[in-house]
Amino acid sequence: MLPRLLSNDLPRSRLLAVLLIGIVVALLLTPFAIPGVKALNVAAKIMVFIVLVASFDLLLGYTGIVSFAHTMFFGIGAYGVAIACTRLGSDLGALLIGIGAALAVSLVLALAIGLFSLRVRAIFFAMITLAFASAFQTLASQLSDFTGGEDGINFRPPEWLTPSFSISETPFLGVDLDGRLICYYLLFATTVALFLTLLRIVNSPFGRVLQAIRENEFRAEAIGYRVVVYRTLSSVISALIACLAGVMLAVWLRYNGPDASLSFEIMLDILLIVVIGGMGTLHGAVIGAALFVIAQSYLQELLKLAHEGLSALPVLAALFTPDRWMLWLGVLFVLSVYYFPSGIVGKLRRTG
Amino acid sequence: MSTPAKPAVAPAVPTQRDIDWAPLLLVPALMLLALPLVGAPSTWVTLTVAGLAMGMIVFVIASGLTLVFGLMDVLHFGHGVFIALGAFVATSVFAAMGGLAGADALLPNLVAVFAAMAAAMAAATIVGLVFERLLVRPVYGLHLKQILITMGGMIIGEELIKTVWGAQQIPFELPPTLRGAFTFGDAMIEKYRVLAIVIGLIVFALLAWTLNRTKIGLLVRAGVENGEMVEALGYRIRRLFVAVFAAGSALAGLGGVLWGLYQQNVVPQMGAQVNVLIFIVIIIGGLGSTAGALIGALLVGLMANYAGYLAPKVALFSNIALMVAVLLWRPSGVFPVANR
Amino acid sequence: MSNAANAPRLTLSGVHTHIGAYHILHGVDLAVPRGQLTLLLGRNGAGKTTTLRTIMGLWKASSGNITFDGRDLNALPTPQRARLGIAYVPESMGIFADLTVKENLMLAAHAARHAGELDAARLEWIFAKFPAVKTFWNYPAGKLSGGQKQMVSVARALVEPRELLIVDEPSKGLAPAIIDNLIDTFCELKAQGVTILLVEQNLEFARRLGDTVAVMDDGRVVHAGAMAAFVEDDALQQELMGLAL
């Protein structure tokens, strides 16, 4: 049963399996086990990033395509529901229309970029997607009537997803049973469903062709696969799932803005998580996202401590302020690409 | 097995250097196209000069990067950091030479500007050599890792700049005699833009001379086309590459000074912002083509200024539209060089 | 090295080469005698071009030894091998299309900083052999026809004296008159003491030039010997190459 659900793509390392089960159980139990809004927000962010990073890994790890436009699709999903819910009202219909429209826009854009890149040399792809993403980001902050500009949009999702909706008057295990909880478990179910779908895709014959292309494009072409078709399909699937991750984010935050879903920093986070977790393995996305989001949420406080501890040495202190968080991420990133190219999952699988 | 030798076709006498004119006409074509859209000729002149100035600055930055791409097929995503480095070094030089930079006389002002440029280029060269050694050399031939590592290098560089100079925007004002504009009738032409164009032209002339008249330049061009053969002739392409990388970084540093003075302020993120423009320029021009980079840069500069005036909200999209149009016409850029 | 004058100029022993996941050379043994022209024959895909590229270091030998005048080449990168006096004319000709014919030749002369510093007498000799080089001296090499490019490619290898000339299928696509010129040139080079290793499919050309012959099949040298004997032995030719000269 379980192997079939996981498309026979098992962790293949005892420690990895323990970690994965631990993360899933922790996410499942967070609302009841850890009190406080912060923990719940961290857990929700982990789930969003699992989907976002796993969909990116389909491109980077499995197909060998570097795209910087992934946050664009993430943002489209988030803006889709945010705009639909503000314009059309806070009901399920509006939410679904928003999701549908966002998916349609993502599909068209992904196809357009994919087909356009066919005409040009493959190594242009990364640069072209970077240009598209930054243009899209500018556009989103310029069209303030529509997108709320730099400030973004605060919106109300359907009421049964908000804290004001209550399932039962009596708390269960000390936790209020409200719409927030429904929202959380909806996110959880979506994450599981999308992750298993991605697992199915990469372990299907289609996924194997993608990996053959990554290994040797010319050989794959010579065997008779239409490399361009597979590449385009892969980027379309990846874009659609990123779009859904954006939907998850916006519904959870009840907000979307350029910094929340489009910023280049998020793109870097995605890259970092993929590399640290392990390129070309979806389990890496789970491990990487969990580690990264927790580190991001709690390490900055650690840096603050280090900064205060080093206040006698101004030069070092300047390097260890929470503001320089990105510096250490960058260093970590470079080091992991060098010494750790298969990421945590690769490492664990080798040590057994 | 004996394949009868195909008789060589009687040689059609090739023309000596027939120039591919069509791309060269793009720049004036864009200017003419903008004239009726902009309307007032005086506004058009101002915008055109601004566009050409921006184009020349972008060219200075892009020229080195296109050779880095072309020569070793290195996907270098960290070029932007040298732009910011150059600009920030220049602000420090200005601060240190306050007397010269603030004097109300042309000569001391120019001395300050050129000192700032020299310092920026020197700093960018040194950091460029370190960057090449630490980040680029270990990933020769590995495209994916090149993108990731050089991107990581850019993040680190940007953060280090923030550590040294602070994260906030720093004003970078022109020396007094370079401020203001010449007026011709209704048209205003800012003095600094003329200076930027002149410096850009000097850089182009020096580059063209180096690439066409010196042995090292010819080797670089040969290497862009066929690096393996350059090696088989007895030259170490990696040494050439290091030289090109250092020179490219220096040019990015110079471009950063020009760009900072053009914007009259500098921010640590300026490198990443300009990077996008640079990529568009290189793609339009064709990887490895200096002449292509010039045309691409001028088109991008003009487009940015015309679109900024006509439809400011979609200014960046106009450049992407330009890139798409050019690539639909010539998929490898206007002057494809490398036959890889 | 006691008998240096008779020792082969270039020796390959047990050379294996992998290209990516593919194992192309399976232990090539080859001796190229000093001052002679050695022909490398074999079917398409037998590994001839890979052998030449491995000698130049353009593919790295994964095992085995390559020695040139007693020096181990394996450790040397391509440019240093070239500087030992090895010139290479690849099958693709390796012309720099964007550069003029003059600039193409100038780059092959290591010490020359510009075309004015090329050896004038040698240049005249090259012009006499390959008039096209002179005719199109100042033209971008990319504008030339295939045969003319081939001339430029060979001329480029000759612009300075070399110890060893490695040439991959020079006669491909050439008019008979030009082939005669090429044969003359190789004969003169031999007379000057230059060692030549030649891959050639044009057997007429091969027969007129070769001193020794090595036949490759499936990444190995399957026959090596004197050209004269090989030319006589129709049965051997049939067996090795599936056709007679």
Q: What is the mean pLDDT of residues C120-131?
A: 92
Degrees to nearest 5, angle at CA C13 with C7 and C15: 145
Do B109 and B100 contact (CB within 8 A), yes or no?
yes
Instruction: State residue B318 phi and psi, 5-degree precision.
Output: -60, -40
Closest of B282, B250, B256 to residue B269, by C-alpha: B256
DSSP C49-103: HHHHHHHHTSS-EEEEEEEETTEE-TTS-HHHHHHTTEEEE-TTTT--TTSBHHH
For chains B and C, CB pairs below 8 A equal 110
Q: Give the pLDDT confidence score for residue A213 in this predicted structure.
A: 86
What sign results for the dihedral spanned by CA atoms A330, B157, B63, B264? positive
Residue C107 with chain B: CB contacts under 8 Å? 215, 218-219, 222, 230, 233, 235
Q: Which subunits sit against A, judged by 3+ Cβ pairs under 8 A?
A: B
Structure tokens at B27: 């720049």
Torsion of CA A83, A87, A93, A98, to 10 degrees: -20
Degrees to nearest 5, angle at CA B193 with B37 and B162: 110
Which among B14, B226, B237 has CB closest to C144?
B14
> Strand C212-217 relative to strand C220-226: parallel, antiparallel, unpaired?
antiparallel
Q: What is the mean pLDDT of residues B214-235?
A: 93
Residues A287, A342: Cα–Cα separation, whole Å: 13
Q: How far is CA B189 from CA B182, B194, B301, B310, in A?
A: 5, 8, 16, 19
Q: What is the pLDDT of residues B100-147, one digit of tens each?
A: 888 889 999 999 999 999 999 999 999 999 999 999 988 887 888 888
Instruction: Please tell me the pTM assigned to this model.
Output: 0.86
A139 at B interface, C-beta within 8 A: yes
Residues A66, A267: Cα–Cα separation, whole Å: 11
For chains A and B, CB pairs below 8 A equal 107
Do A125 and A69 contact (CB within 8 A), yes or no?
no
Instruction: State residue B24 phi and psi, 5-degree precision.
Output: -65, -25
Q: Which subunits sit against C, judged by 3+ Cβ pairs under 8 A?
A: B
Q: Give the pLDDT confidence score for residue C1 in this predicted structure.
A: 42
Query: Residue B272's closest chain A neighbor by CA?
Result: A264
Residues C130, C126: Cα–Cα separation, whole Å: 6
Structure tokens at B138: 């270990």
User: CB count, 10 Å around CB of B308?
Assistant: 18
Q: Give the pLDDT confidence score for residue C20 in this predicted structure.
A: 79
Q: What is the pLDDT of residues A130-140, one digit of tens each?
A: 888 888 888 88
Q: What is the pLDDT of residues B9-34, one digit of tens each?
A: 444 444 455 677 888 899 999 999 99
More reliable by pLDDT, A103 or C237: A103
A138 at B interface, C-beta within 8 A: yes
Q: What is the pLDDT of residues C128-153, one digit of tens each?
A: 999 999 999 999 998 898 889 999 99
Q: What is the pLDDT of residues C145-195, one digit of tens each?
A: 888 999 999 999 999 999 999 999 888 878 888 888 889 999 999 999 999
Q: Give the pLDDT confidence score for residue C242 in this predicted structure.
A: 66
pLDDT reading at B230 higher than 70 = yes
Give A121→chain B minimum CA distance, Å. 7
Q: How far is CA B40 from CA A132, A324, B279, B305, in A?
A: 32, 49, 32, 15
DSSP letter at B334 equals: S
Can you tell me the ipTM of this complex?
0.92
* Record: contact A131-B276, CB cut-off 8 A: yes
Give B166→chain C minimum CA distance, Å. 46
Give C206→chain B minimum CA distance, Å. 10
Q: What is the mean pLDDT of residues B210-217?
A: 93
* Record: contact B159-A142, CB cut-off 8 A: no
Do C50 and C106 contact (CB within 8 A), yes or no?
no
Q: What is the mean pLDDT of residues C53-60?
A: 95
Q: Which subunits sit against B, judged by 3+ Cβ pairs under 8 A?
A: A, C
Residue C19's SS3 state is strand
Q: Give the pLDDT confidence score for residue C244 in this predicted structure.
A: 54
Which among C80, C140, C243 has CB closest to B1?
C243
Structure tokens at A79: 């803006």
Chain C interface mutation, best of B214, B216, B220, B229, highest count of C Cβ atoms under 10 Å = B229
Structure tokens at B53: 């100035």
Degrees to nearest 5, angle at CA C139 with C135 and C144: 80
Using CB atoms and an 8 Å cut-off, which of residues 5-44 of chain B contact chain C? 5-9, 11-12, 14-17
B234 at C interface, C-beta within 8 A: yes
Q: What is the mean pLDDT of residues A269-275?
A: 90
Q: What is the pLDDT of residues A193-232, one digit of tens each?
A: 999 999 999 999 999 999 888 888 878 888 888 888 898 9
Residue C31's SS3 state is strand
Comparing A309-313, B155-159, B300-304, the range with the smallest average pLDDT is: A309-313
Residue C204 with chain B: CB contacts under 8 Å? 2
